[in-house]
Structure 1
Amino acid sequence: MDKKNLAALLSAVANGDTTPEDAAQAILQEPFRRTMNARTPETDAAPTNVDPSVCLDGHRALRTGMGEVVFGQGKNREQLVSAVAGLDVPGRPVLVTRLDEDDGEYLLERFPGGEFWPKARLFISSPPLGVAEGLAGPFAAGKSSWPADGEIVVVTAGSSDIPVALEAVGTLRFLGYEPGLVSDVGVAGIHRLEPHLPALSAARLLVVIAGMEGALPSVLAGLVSAPLIAVPTSVGYGASFGGLSALLAMLNACAPGVAVVNIDNGFGAAALAARLLAI
């Protein structure tokens, strides 16, 4: 349930279409519905392979402005289908993160109106409302290039960081933003950054993604005025310790105004960016 659904329910009470008792019961049942009450898009009937271990938070959008997102890694297919079917309502699609290709294709079969972006490991159950007209779906599957400017710009140090960057880009598009993407402009060839500085300086917020020594966020934070969210990645040789060296470097950035999320957490950076811009 989000504010729009709640307003519609209260209007129904005011118009006499719903009794206060029925409305109260709907609100009480909504916050943590178990998926045994979910409906599949094909049949509008209770799915046969629901998993009662999945407990859904239907009030998260009311509390935080962003509905529950399904973390796909580690879930079996019954849990995935139960979670998506339980959360998906008209006008309020579901985002699933960290999906392998087989599970993504399986969800596409079960929810044929959805989209799966293998590079970003993201699935969306249906096109969200409010995405700008003309976009080829929130994930724009198969898109070979992205604009290099926008209200939010995602920047990568290396091309190996692009999967994490695409997780951030896809999540931002799911949330209704049109981010720019600038890739492969790390400190090993810092001259590559210079042509993009006007667009980066004009952005309201930057998401900067880097592995290895994780230096790019500190460099950019010293060049532009926009707040910056740094994302360390697990890209690097042995002493990078799976992204820990980049994480520590970003936490110790010389330039002020750098916030840091967890290793490889493109989704978390996008969610934080959207919250900051919504204020």
Structure 2
Amino acid sequence: MNKKDLRELLEKVRSNEVDIETALNSLKDLPYKDIGLARVDNHRSLRNGFPEVIYCEGKSLEEIKAIITEMLKTNNNILASRASQEIFEMVKEIAPDAIYHPRPKMIFIKQQELEETNSKILVVSGGTSDMPVAEEAAVTAEALGNKVDRLYDVGVAGIHRLLGSLDKLDQASVIIAVAGMEGALASVVGGLVDKPVIAVPTSVGYGANFGGVSALLTMLNSCASGVGVVNIDNGFGAAYLASTINLQIENALKGSD
């Protein structure tokens, strides 16, 4: 149940369209639903503004099916990350309208329309090899109701490609910078803009990259102010953080109207 559904239920109680016992029954599983193998958090959209997201790695097909089956009972959109093609084929059996994004390995099930933000999140990536993580960020941000733009393959090895797209940087409210190798892209972007930059180190790179640790350390040691860093390959986490920032911007703009 999201805030809109809860508000509608309370309005119906106030107008005597729904009695108190019926309302209580509707709310009995609101905090969470214990399905044995998992406790599905039905309250997260009320607390955080976004519903729970299913992280598929490490879960069996039966576990994922049970969790999604339970989540389908709510009116929330459903997002599943790190999902294989096999998982998607199983999900299609219980949710025929599910959409699969193969590059970031994400499944999206739309159960309600979201009003798209006016403020924009821009996802910037260093190289084409960083695109799976960049797309995880972009797809997540879109699923959470954000207007999203992409600017890919603009790494510092050919910095003129980035400098030729300064208009896109200027139009964004929040920027997600995704890069592997030495991870310098986040510092360059952070030095060009007056908005928050969320840096995502990727595991792309040769041996001394240490699976993304070199990019992580570069981003943590950025000399550009206003750069925050998430974990290696965590495009989802970057998008979630960017979405919460964007939501505050949207709320501030509505309050000033």
Q: Does 1:15 align with 2:8?
A: no
> 2-side partners of 1:102 and 1:165: how far apart?
22
State the distance in 2 between where 1:277 and 1:260 align. 17
The TM-score with structure 2 as length reference comes to 0.90
CA distance in 1, matches of 2:42, 2:74: 14
Alignment of 1:240-255 (within 5 A): 240-255=209-224
d(CA) in 2 for partners of 1:111 and 1:29?
22
Q: In terms of mean alpha carbon deviation, does 104-113 or 13-22 score higher? A: 13-22
Secondary structure of 1:172's aligned partner: helix
Give the Cα–Cα distance (whole angstroms) in 2 for the partners of residues 99 and 118 of structure 1: 9
Alignment of 1:140-159 (within 5 A): 151-159=120-128
Whole-angstrom CA distance in 1 between matches of 2:218 and 2:113 = 39
Query: What residue is the counterpart of 2:143 in the other structure?
Result: 174
**Residue type of the partner of 1:265?**
N
Cα deviation for residue 180 of structure 1 reads 1.0
Amino acid at match of 1:34: D
- For the 8 Å contact 2:51–2:77, the answer to whether it is kept is no
1:186 aligns with 155
How far apart are 1:89 and its partner, in Å?
4.2
Alignment partner of 1:233 is 2:233: no
From 235, 238, 246, the equivalent of 1:266 is: 235
Residue in 2 that maps onto 1:27: 27
Counterpart residue number, 1:141: none
Alignment of 1:37-52 (within 5 A): 52=36
RMSD: 1.6
Distance 1:125 1:191 in 2: 39
What are the superposed Cα offsets for residues 62-102 of structure 1, whole Å, 9 maximum, x if unpaired?
11111111111111111111111211246422110111121
State the secondary structure of the residue aligned to 2:159. helix
Query: Does the CA-based 8 Å contact 1:128-1:174 persist in structure 2?
Result: no
| Structure 1 ranges of 4+ moved more than 6 A | none
> Contact 1:229–1:273 at 8 Å: present in 2 too?
yes
Q: Unpaired runs of 5+ in structure 2?
A: 249-257
- The code of the aligned residue for 1:249 comes to T
Match of 1:81 among 61, 65, 69: 65
The alignment status of 1:107 with 2:99, answered yes or no, reads no
Cα displacement string for residues 89-140 of structure 1 (whole angstroms, at most 9, x for unaligned residues): 46422110111121122212321111111111110123541266xxxxxxxx
Give the match's secondary structure for 2:176. strand
**Following the alignment from structure 1 to structure 2, what is the Cα–Cα distance between the partners of residues 255 and 225?**
11
Distance in 2 of aligned mates of 1:200 and 1:234:
25
Aligned residues: 246
Deviation at 1:55, TM superposition (A): 1.0
Higher relative contact order (CA 8 A, sep 6+): 2
- TM-score if structure 1 supplies the norm length? 0.84
Structure 1 unaligned residues grouped into runs of 5+: 36-51, 133-149
CA distance in 2, matches of 1:75, 1:62: 26
Give the equivalent residue in structure 1 for 2:4.
4
Aligned partners of 1:227, 1:273: CA distance in 2, in Å?
9
Residue 122 of structure 1 is matched in structure 2 by 106
Rounded to whole Å, the distance in 1 between the matches of 2:109 and 2:185 is 35
Going by fraction, where is strand more abundant, 1 or 2? 2
